[in-house]
Amino acid sequence: MHQIDKVLQHAKRVHFIGIGGAGMCPLAEILHSQNYDISGSDINESETFKRVSSLGITTFLDQKAENIAGADLIIYTAALLPDNHELVAAKASGIPTFERAALLAAITRRFNNCIGVCGTHGKTTTTAMLAHIMQAAKLDPTAVVGGRLAGSTRNALVGKSDHMIVEACEYKDAFLQYSPDVAVILNIDEDHMEYFKTLENLLASFRKFAEMATKTVIYNGDDTNTRLALEGMEARKLVSFGRTEGCDFRAANVTMNGALASYDLIYRGEPLTRIVLAAPGEHNVSNSLAAIAAAMLSGTGALDCETALADFRGAGRRFEVLGTHRGITIADDYAHHPLEIKVALTAAQQMDYQRVWAVFQPFTFSRTALLLDDFAEALKLADHVAMTPIMGSREVNTWGISTADLAAKIPGSTWHENFNEVAQHIVEHAQQGDLVLTLGCGDIYKAAHMMIDLLQQ
C-alpha cells in the first residue's frame, strides 16, 4: 500500500496549501464529500477559493506556518516556491506532507471504474465530454478535469458512484502515478520533448500507462503513434475508435455544417445513431468517439451519448466565445502546440466571420525553439497574427529564442511587449464581423478580457 493511502485511512483533518488552485480545489471537494475535515490557504481570493469557502471548508487568505495546526495530512501545489513559509513549516512539522499529484493518484485507487483520459491533444475536452455524458445518463460520476466543465465555473464533479473520470497528463510522467481501470489514449504527438528527449521514450510512457489499465484500453485507431505504442498488447483489452474501417467505434458519413460536425455512429459494423456535435471543429469527431466508447463501456446507451453531445458546447478555454462587442467576436483557446493551433484556426475559418485574428502567447522557450517552423505554418492560417513575449514558465531561456524570431517567419505579423499593447492593437485594427481568437496555455486570456473592456468603453 502507498504511504499516502495509509495516512488517508486514519487522517481526520486534511490541509491544502494553495486550495484555490484549479488542480487543488477539486481534490478538496472530493475529500470534503468523503467526510474529511478540510482546511486550506491561498493568497488569491479567486472564484475557486470562494467556492470551497462556501462549502463550509475552513480557509485562510494568507500562507503562514500557523495555518497547518491540527492537520493530520498536508497537501501542497507544485506551483509553490520552495521558500513558501507554510510549505517550509509543513515539511519541518513531521505531519505527512505530499504534493497534489500523490493525492489525486490515491483518489483514483478508491474507485472501481477509474477512467484515465490521456493524449497530447484533446484531453480536457474529451474528459469534460465524458463527464457530461455520464452525468446526463445519471451515472453520477466523480470527475477531475484540467479546465472548466461546460456551462459551469467548476472543473470537478463530486459524485457518489464508483465511476471516476480523470484527465491524465503525461508531463514528467505524472499519469504513471494513477491507477486507471480504463485507459483512453486520444493521440500521441511530440510534446514535452525537453523531458522525454526521444519519440521512443514518449511512446514507452504511454505504453506503461496503457499496461496499468485493469480492464480496457480505448485507443485512437487512426493515430500511427498510438498504434505503435500499443503494438503486441493483449488484444482482448483493446477497443479502438476512429474513422478507419475496422475501428470498434467508428464515425461514418461525416458532414460539416460550418464548423460543426455530424456523423453516423457505428459499433462493430452496426449503425447505432446519428451524432450531431455542438462543440466546433472537425477534431471533435475523434474526441467524441473516445468519450462515447468510454461512456458506453461504463453502461450508458448510444441515445444517452447522442442527447448529451448535442448539448455539449465545449470546456472552458476550448474555443470559448467570450462575447461580441461592436460587432467583433472575442474567443479564447488553450491551444499551445502547432497542431492544436492549426485545429483551432481551421475551425475558426469554417465559421461565418469576415477575418480571423490569432493572438498568440508562446509557452516555454524549448517548445518555441524546437517547433518554430511548425508554429509559423500553423499561425499563417489566420488572416492576421499578433503575438506577445514567450511565457517561460518553468524554464530559463538558454535557447536564445524570442517572439521576434517567430514573427520573422510570418509575413505581416506583429508582436507586442505586453498584453495592454496587443489588446490596444487589436481594438484599433479589428473590424465589425471579425473573430479575435487568443491562443496559448498561459495567461493570454487576460488580453482577451482587456480587449472586451476596451471595446465596451
Q: Say which DSSP state 333 is in.
A: E
Enumerate residues 6+ apart whose C-beta is below 8 A from 454: 423, 424, 427
Q: Which of 86, 167, 170, 340 is catalytic?
A: 167
How far is residue 10's CA from residue 73's CA, in Å, rounded to a whole number?
Answer: 10
Q: Are 186 and 220 in contact (CB under 8 A)?
A: yes
How far is residue 436's CA from residue 330's CA, in Å, rounded to a whole number?
Answer: 5
Q: Are 403 and 431 in contact (CB under 8 A)?
A: no
Enumerate residues 6+ apart whose C-beta is below 8 A from 417: 389
How far is residue 366's CA from residue 427's CA, in Å, rounded to a whole number?
Answer: 31
3-class secondary structure, 136: helix
Q: Say which DSSP state 436 is in.
A: E
Edge-to-edge strands of the sheet including 73-76? 58-60, 37-41, 13-17, 73-76, 97-99
Query: Which H or E run includes 429?
Result: helix 419-429
**417-421 contact pairs (CB < 8 A, 24+):** 417/389, 418/388, 418/389, 419/388, 419/444, 419/446, 419/447, 419/450, 420/450
124 flagged as catalytic: yes
Q: Are 435 and 324 in contact (CB under 8 A)?
A: no
Residue 327 cell numbers, joined: 460587432
324 flagged as catalytic: no
Q: Which of 123, 170, 300, 342 is catalytic?
A: 123
77 flagged as catalytic: no
Q: Which of 59, 124, 142, 368 is catalytic?
A: 124
Residues with a catalytic annotation lie at 123-124, 167
